[in-house]
A = this chain, B = another copy of it.
């Protein structure tokens, strides 16, 4: 008995708490419901930090329109849940957090009572299917825990999770007709034909295994599962919804619909029947694997070798507390909620993508063994290179180094010899533009967080940047800009390539590769080639060298940009703001130009086609809901009016982040919006990842302790913090006054203290730089 008890003791929540020493219970400040209404695209379900399983309710399953453009309705369901919906279809095991496109929603479980109904039914008539009406009054979402009452079935549903295993606990009424439905057809961004195959085995009366293969955002994706019940079902079955099964053959000798333990096809729903006593709990452990059903089963046995739901929940929350305690802030109640919910959202991804034994599926569809690193997936890099990965370099340096290793493994497996663009689940989905794995890698290298082979990393960046068939790169390399008549969104691409190239140059410099440094510094100045000095904007150029004639800098569509108009994108030279400002007419004129961005009255017609965000995500013509402007409020630091950075960032913090279900001004984009919040409310921001500078803004907290992985603490103290005191009067770093507009990475990582003195009026002399 002693031998059996030992591992249990080692994993007990008390000991975990003792190990991680969470001085503060910060889980209580997190509200996973924030962002579940409107355009936040977050999910309220149960997950652990960077967990493979995201077990969360799906409130509808709207099919994706197959014409290639997304249907705005389905767009609301990127994370499966919309706060305003009256019904819950069921609980599925994989969800992206905050993304602007989607996939996943694998393996939806729905508990029901009464007559078996295998179709989900409709929102207006939930009784026509297995879904259920619910009320937010009976709903609760916490880190690693979610519960809701399913009114139609009188079932209390509770969810929790470990890294690779979701745990369900359904409290049933007394019923001779209690069902657990496993819907293999359901999914997010689903459509007819998305399932290329599903395969299920009922191994015994408590264990099911199988997998789902889809052709979606990930073109060739397979997820394996193992599902265990705490009590044997007394019968089971399935229905194949394919109109005409092409080939049945000798399988006809069986009735495959009932108590037949092996089914496969493209459109399957299965059910498992129980008889329950009043208040009886049917529990499910549902493990995932990117490798095999054997891998899923091993994950289940390793991570939850028992049936104690409460223990899994407590361990999950202890896990969250440990991560949240990396920054301990004092702030107003609302800001505490905003801050820790932002921390929570920042730590939802990239997600673990390997089994407990280190095996994972690679981009080449082969199974690989991760050696000395955790393999991560779901890199929303066009978003997250800006602030999320820089945040990780402070708060999650070990994980960030592993993420870089994961990207280098992707590179090794890529038949294109490219680093990830937007990758998930062993697939490159090519979403958005640029090659923004490069700034993530460069930022880690420059900041000394490079627990990987830096020369190999540089080679991967260079090879990626020289790919001659990727998205206009051939033109860019030949002509020093992307011509709009050859490749659309050409200005955005030119600008982002130029920044990425600067990142390569910074790495090359640090690694003493002068040749590469020179090649890429030259490319880094290519932003100048799309600046039209006549209009004063970045503007699409054609292959004959002329500017595109029709041009509206306020319009987002068809203008040579993506998820941003020229007005916003024209400010995108994060690696050389000083030169950009010079090019655009000097500091004074540029500051006025920025002012107008925040204050202009954008005509209605432009809202309609502002991509990807609601009106809530826009201030004037400043689009915070999309990423290209995330550094813009900090650009005042390069003018003579840095106090306007302080003013604007505080305004954005207030306007764009609210402790309400609709509190996010746009898609959270896998933590990028949240990372902006964390940085900005701490008072600094990484304008150009790949540099070790953070631009100083205006802290919104009263104080913060950043508890670093190296054991040191960086303390932020804010004197005279008040809502109206948005202006920094004085800054002391380790007791000494500083007058620069930035702090460096090493100043943070060495530990120490920064003190901001705040006031209601700008100190116009502070950080002002001579013209």
Contacts and interface: CB of A to CB of B under 8 A. Distances in A.
A215 B249 CA distance: 11
A253 B196 contact: no
A14 interface: no
B220 A250 contact: no
A742 interface: no
A9 interface: no
A199 B293 CA distance: 21
A760 interface: no
A415 B201 contact: yes
A430 B253 contact: yes
B366 A262 contact: no
B68 A250 contact: no
Interface stretch (A240-248, A308-316, A677-685, A696-704): A240-248
Contacts of A217: 247, 249
Interface residues of A, number: 57
B293 A365 contact: yes
A201 B414 CA distance: 10
Interface in A205-262: 209, 211, 213, 215-217, 219-220, 244, 246-255, 259-262
Contacts of A201: 364, 415
A432 interface: yes
B249 A293 contact: no
A583 interface: no
A396 interface: no
Given A253-B430, A415-B203, A430-B253, A220 B197 contact: yes
Interface in A270-302: 292-294
Given A292-B365, A364-B209, A415 B215 contact: no
Interface stretch (A108-116, A187-195, A320-328, A439-447): A187-195
Given A197-B196, A197-B220, A220-B264, A191 B366 contact: no
B246 A215 contact: yes
Interface string A59-89: 0000010101000000000000000000000
Contact of A194 (B247, B365, B471): B247
Contacts of A24: none
A758 to B, nearest CB: 44
A367 interface: yes
B219 A264 contact: yes
A211 B422 CA distance: 24
A470 B249 CA distance: 15
Nearest to A493: B253
A615 interface: no
A370 interface: no
A765 interface: no
A572 B14 CA distance: 70
A431 interface: yes
A429 interface: yes
A207 to B, nearest CB: 10
Contact of A220 (B64, B191, B193, B199): B199
Contacts of A66: 244, 246-247
Contacts of A262: 415-416
Nearest to A430: B250
Q: Which of A260, A367, A469, A471 has the most CB of B within 10 A?
A: A469
Given A196-B197, A259-B469, A364-B201, A247 B415 contact: no
Interface in A84-108: 101
Nearest to A294: B366
A240 to B, nearest CB: 12
A251 B219 contact: yes
A477 interface: no
A202 interface: yes
Contact of A430 (B247, B249, B294): B249
B194 A246 contact: yes
A192 B469 contact: no
A567 B469 CA distance: 70
A450 B429 CA distance: 52
B191 A247 contact: yes
Contacts of A64: 247
A415 B261 contact: yes
Interface string A400-443: 00000000000000011000001000000111100000000000
A203 to B, nearest CB: 6
Interface string A327-339: 0000000000000
Given A249-B429, A264-B219, A196 B199 contact: no
A292 B368 CA distance: 11
Contacts of A254: 430, 469-471
B365 A199 contact: yes
B261 A193 contact: no
B192 A246 contact: yes
A297 to B, nearest CB: 9
Contacts of A215: 197, 246-247, 264-265
A469 B254 CA distance: 7
A472 to B, nearest CB: 8
Contact of A251 (B197, B364, B430, B469): B430
A644 to B, nearest CB: 37
Contacts of A251: 219, 430
A416 B251 CA distance: 13
A246 B103 CA distance: 14
A653 B251 CA distance: 36
Contacts of A252: 68
10 smallest A-B Cβ distances: which pairs? A250-B430, A193-B246, A294-B366, A201-B415, A261-B415, A292-B366, A196-B197, A253-B471, A250-B431, A262-B415
Given A217-B247, A251-B430, 19 more contacts: A66-B246, A68-B252, A196-B197, A197-B213, A197-B215, A197-B220, A199-B365, A203-B415, A215-B264, A219-B249, A249-B429, A250-B430, A250-B432, A253-B471, A254-B470, A261-B416, A262-B416, A292-B365, A293-B366
20 contacts: A66-B244, A66-B247, A68-B252, A191-B246, A193-B246, A194-B247, A197-B197, A199-B220, A202-B415, A203-B415, A215-B246, A215-B264, A217-B249, A219-B264, A249-B431, A250-B429, A250-B432, A253-B470, A260-B469, A367-B367
Interface of A: 64, 66, 68, 101, 191-194, 196-197, 199, 201-203, 209, 211, 213, 215-217, 219-220, 244, 246-255, 259-262, 264-266, 292-294, 364-367, 415-416, 422, 429-432, 469-471
